[in-house]
């Protein structure tokens, strides 16, 4: 064990030496600021991890080319956290203890974000998720060391519920979520938001993460006769669910709505026909018509031959959030950076965001988008203050 | 508001048909297990990993441009020598010991773990999607059902019937049954017992591989896929009676109907504990299973 850690340290020093030797003057003088990326490189969420990686890489490239953060370049250090909190915490521990990262990001699975948040607290370091939806992360399970730059389930459902109340008043809604933190909380959030606007719940069921066959779940859907199906499955699960819904003829006379992570650029190619008409509430769409977004989308497309999705955009944005905070604090010290992050306003491709000091949740304009002919089109917009909801965090 | 007839047609009928299609898939898995136990007296814990191997072979062949329908034929043929060699090199070593059940169980369990990790290393940990060779859905009496699942039901039923014919109606099957029933007597009558055992094991393995190819377009292919079906298949074999083909078929159909209909009222996730509960009850009141003969496979 000891010999192994010595070897790892030696390898780390060697990597650092190479990085320093090859760094160009434009990348700044000081030691690099190390960003740990604990993201799924394998498993059912690997496509999401890919967007996270691309977003972070693009921002790192831009920031380093412009002189880094306070003259120090950013360095990304990856670990495969899989879609599994137990693995993600081990990898986070390694990033903090062995690689001595200054900041951590990349967690996808909400359970992993919550667990890794505790690791960050123990190591007295800060982290931010750019993907996880579960409201509890910045709600009743909030942590002084955990931030969320993406929109939470509550913001997405507020936008979606507002649209649904207009498009299908008094709808009969059936809920199908993946059976873990994110699935349960997205369903609970949309249920509350939709019922408040006059919808009726006709049933809910949860399928395991990575479920292969959804057909046994269809019986309850058929029996409930819903007008609307809400789902918050993601990644490859979406491909299987939508394909099977289509094959079993359930999509007729059924409006499918869902979480923003359900249909993304990573999986839409495989389900183009089955996902037609799908509506969701999002914090980002490549369609957003602003110069900042056009520039970001063009750079992303040029680098990776595919458009960014919400994960790519928010992972790109998180490094600008960290950069703004470190520059405001004048240091990478945890307490100073935390103080700087309170109510920090920073620029992202989707416009400026504000980090609410009370619960560490970013506030932003929300959109509803509809999947039409292989692309998401923006169909409505909800202001930041209307979508954010109350601050439920009581720990700090 | 909605008539009883309509509910039967649109809610119960699709669920029953779906239960049938899953039932056929589980029986295909259970069949190999029960044959190996009934005829060879070997509990093959690596059966699920052979099923996964069949699926991975199909994925590799498809990637090399081989037609899916050819895969259905080629993969089981490739699995035959593999099963034969496995029996010769591994099973034979412990087969004649006194504690054969425990030893073969542990040996195949270990083999399963090694195989699963091998798939992870060779093919990567991610799920591979296999495109369905038959697309679209059939509209039967106003009820939609994917064509490929209908095809799997048909082919599955055919395979089950063929296996039954081979075991009970052919000279080869008679030789195998004789070797299983009384090894010494069969041997003295000129049955090449050792080769019959290896051949039977190879047959069981090939059956698992065939199931792997057939089900790959429905369930996708991933390293731990063997674990998904093996618990259900073991449940079916135990309830039906270890070693009984008829038992496996009937238990498979009945258990999967219980699961399908229960899924209408409780979360489908909770139907598996229900089936395992049935298995526990069977073990308590009729440990030989519905159609099994304890002590003689």
Run of H or E residues at A351: strand A351-355
**A291 Cβ partners below 8 Å, 6+ apart?**
none
- Give the separation between CA A52 and CA B210, rounded to whole angstroms: 39
Least confidently predicted of A77-91, A283-297, B167-181: B167-181
CB A56 within 8 A of CB A74: no
pLDDT for residue A27:
43
**Distance in angstroms (rounded) separating the CA atoms of residues B181 and B175:** 10
The length of chain A in residues reads 396
The pLDDT value recorded for residue B2 is: 61
pLDDT of residue A301: 96
- Write out pLDDT tens, residues A282-327: 899 888 999 999 999 999 999 999 989 899 999 999 999 999 999 9
A220, A225, A270 member nearest B263 (Cβ):
A220
Q: What is the pLDDT of residues B38-58, one digit of tens each?
A: 888 888 999 999 999 999 999
Q: What is the Cα Rg of chain B in Å? A: 20
Helix (H, G, I), strand (E, B) or coil at A252: coil
Token pair 């790892």: residue: A8
For residue A271, what is the DSSP state?
A: G
The residues, any chain, with a CB within 8 Å of residue A18's CB and separated by 6 or more, are: none
Tell me the ipTM for this assembly: 0.82
| Cβ–Cβ below 8 Å for A208 and B269 | yes
Yes or no, beta carbons of A219 and B260 under 8 Å apart:
yes
**Are A219 and B271 an interchain contact pair (Cβ–Cβ within 8 Å)?**
no
Show Cβ contacts of residue A374 under 8 Å, excluding neighbours closer than 6 positions. Answer: A268, A269, A272
Percentage, residues of chain A above pLDDT 90: 71
What does the alpha-carbon distance between residue A45 and residue A49 come to, in Å, rounded to a whole number?
6
Residues of B with CB under 8 A from a CB of A: 2, 7, 10-11, 14-15, 18, 22, 124-127, 129, 137, 139, 143-146, 218-220, 228, 259-260, 263-264, 267-269, 271
Q: Using a CB-CB distance cutoff of 8 angstroms, which residues of chain B are in contact with residue A219? A: 11, 14-15, 18, 260, 263-264
Q: Per-residue pLDDT for B267 more than 70?
A: yes
Cβ contacts of residue A27 below 8 Å, gap of 6+? A64, A65, A67, A68, A73
A207: which 2 tokens? Answer: 């399928």
Q: Which of B20, B147, B267 to mutate to test the interface with A (most CBs of A within 10 A)?
A: B267
* C-alpha pair distances (Å), B231 with each of A132, A312, A316, B47, B156: 33, 39, 44, 11, 19
Sheet with strand A345-348: strands edge to edge = A345-348, A351-355, A362-363
Claim: this prediction has a pTM higher than 0.80: no
- Asked if the Cβ–Cβ distance from A42 to B126 is below 8 Å, we say yes
Q: Mark yes or no for CB contact A219/B126 under 8 Å.
A: no
Provide the percentage of residues in chain B whose pLDDT is more than 90. 59
What CA–CA distances, in Å, run from A180 to A83, A184, A391, B228? 11, 6, 23, 19
Report whether B192 contacts B199 (CB < 8 A). Answer: no
The answer to whether residue A3 scores a pLDDT higher than 70 is no
Average pLDDT over residues A171-178: 96
Q: Rounded to an integer, what distance in angstroms lies between the CA atom of residue B135 and that of residue B147?
A: 6
Cβ–Cβ contacts within 10 Å for residue B209, how many? 28
Instruction: Label residue B66 exposed, middle or buried (CB < 10 Å: 0-12, 13-18, 19+).
Output: middle
Q: List, in order, residues 6 or more apart from B22 with CB less than 8 Å away.
A: A213, A215, A216, B256, B259, B260
Q: Does pLDDT of B295 surpass 50?
A: no
**Which residues make beta-bridge pairs with A381?**
A367
CA-CA distance, B35 to B264, in Å (whole number)? 33
The two structure tokens encoding residue B259: 């699961």
pLDDT, residue B76, reads 96
Residue A26 pLDDT exceeds 50? no
What residues of chain A lie within 8 A of the CB of B124, using their CB? 42
Give residue B3's pLDDT: 78
Burial class of A231 by CB neighbour count within 10 A (0 to 12, 13 to 18, 19+): buried
Residue range B119-133, pLDDT digits in tens: 999 998 878 888 889
Q: Which of B244, B173, B291 has its CA nearest to residue B31?
A: B244
Partner-chain contact A216 B220, CB within 8 Å: no
**CA–centroid distance for A103 within its chain:** 17
Q: What is the reported pLDDT for A29?
A: 55
DSSP A152: P
- pLDDT classification of A69: cutoffs 50, 70, 90: very high
3-state SS class at A395: coil
User: Would you state the structure tokens that stand for residue A214, as one six-digit string?
Assistant: 């959804």
Helix (H, G, I), strand (E, B) or coil at A64: helix
Q: Which of A46, A205, A250 sits opposite B267 (nearest CB)?
A: A205
> Taking residues B267-276, what's their average pLDDT?
91
What is the average pLDDT value for chain A, to the nearest integer? 90
């Amino acid at each position: 064990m000891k010999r192994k850690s010595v070897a790892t340290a030696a390898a780390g020093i060697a990597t650092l030496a190479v990085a320093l030797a090859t760094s160009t003057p434009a990348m700044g003088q000081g030691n690099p600021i190390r960003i740990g990326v604990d993201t799924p490189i394998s498993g059912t969420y690997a496509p999401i991890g890919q967007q996270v990686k691309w977003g972070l890489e693009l921002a790192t490239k831009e920031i380093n080319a412009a002189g880094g953060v306070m003259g120090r370049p950013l360095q990304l250090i990856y670990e495969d956290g899989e879609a599994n909190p137990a693995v993600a915490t081990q990898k986070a521990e390694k990033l903090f203890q062995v690689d001595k990262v200054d900041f951590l990001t990349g967690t996808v699975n909400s359970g992993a974000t919550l667990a890794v948040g505790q690791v960050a607290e123990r190591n007295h370091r800060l982290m931010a998720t750019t993907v996880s939806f579960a409201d509890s992360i910045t709600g009743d399970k909030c942590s002084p060391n955990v931030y969320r730059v993406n929109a939470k389930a509550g913001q997405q459902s507020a936008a979606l519920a507002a649209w649904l109340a207009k498009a299908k008043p008094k709808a009969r809604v059936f809920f199908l979520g993946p059976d873990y933190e994110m699935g349960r909380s997205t369903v609970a959030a949309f249920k509350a938001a939709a019922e408040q606007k006059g919808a009726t719940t006709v049933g809910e069921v949860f399928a395991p993460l990575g479920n292969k066959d959804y057909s046994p779940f269809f019986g309850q859907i058929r029996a409930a006769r819903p007008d609307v199906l809400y789902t918050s499955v993601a990644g490859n699960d979406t491909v299987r669910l939508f394909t099977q819904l289509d094959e079993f003829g359930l999509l007729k006379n059924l409006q499918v709505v869902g979480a923003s992570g359900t249909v993304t650029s990573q999986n839409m190619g495989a389900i183009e026909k089955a996902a037609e008409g799908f509506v969701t509430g999002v914090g980002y769409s490549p369609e957003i018509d602003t110069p900042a977004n056009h520039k970001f989308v063009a750079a992303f497309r040029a680098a990776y031959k595919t458009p960014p999705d919400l994960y790519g955009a928010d992972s790109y944005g998180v490094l600008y959030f960290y950069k703004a905070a470190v520059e405001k604090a004048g240091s990478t010290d945890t307490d100073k950076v935390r103080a700087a992050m309170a109510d920090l306003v920073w620029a992202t491709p989707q416009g400026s965001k504000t980090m609410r000091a009370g619960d560490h949740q970013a506030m932003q304009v929300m959109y509803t988008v509809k999947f039409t002919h292989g692309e998401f089109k923006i169909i409505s917009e909800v202001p930041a203050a209307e979508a954010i909801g109350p601050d439920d965090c009581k720990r700090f | 508001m909605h008539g009883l007839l309509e509910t039967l047609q649109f809610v119960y009928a699709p669920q029953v048909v779906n239960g049938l299609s899953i039932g056929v898939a589980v029986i295909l898995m259970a069949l190999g297990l029960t044959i190996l136990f009934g005829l060879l007296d070997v509990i093959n814990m690596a059966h699920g990993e052979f099923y996964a191997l069949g699926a991975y072979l199909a994925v590799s062949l498809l990637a090399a441009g081989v037609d899916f329908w050819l895969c259905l034929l080629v993969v089981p043929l490739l699995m035959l020598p593999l099963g034969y060699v496995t029996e010769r090199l591994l099973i034979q070593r412990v087969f004649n010991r006194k504690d054969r059940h425990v030893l073969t169980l542990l040996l195949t369990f270990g083999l399963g773990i090694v195989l699963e990790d091998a798939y992870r290393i060779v093919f990567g940990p991610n799920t591979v999607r296999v495109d369905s060779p038959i697309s679209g859905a059939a509209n039967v009496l106003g009820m939609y059902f994917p064509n490929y699942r209908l095809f799997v039901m048909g082919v599955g039923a055919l395979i089950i019937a063929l296996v039954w014919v081979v075991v009970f109606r052919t000279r080869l099957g008679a030789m195998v049954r004789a070797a299983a029933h009384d090894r010494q007597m069969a041997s003295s009558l000129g049955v090449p017992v050792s080769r019959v055992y290896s051949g039977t094991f190879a047959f069981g393995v090939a059956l698992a591989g065939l199931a792997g190819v057939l089900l790959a377009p429905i369930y996708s292919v991933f390293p731990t896929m063997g674990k998904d079906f093996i618990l259900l298949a073991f449940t079916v074999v135990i309830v039906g009676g270890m070693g009984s083909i008829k038992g496996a078929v009937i238990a498979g159909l009945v258990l999967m109907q219980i699961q399908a209909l229960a899924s209408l009222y409780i979360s489908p996730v909770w139907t598996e504990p229900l089936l395992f509960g049935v298995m526990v009850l069977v073990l308590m009141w009729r440990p030989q299973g519905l159609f099994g003969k304890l002590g003689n496979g």
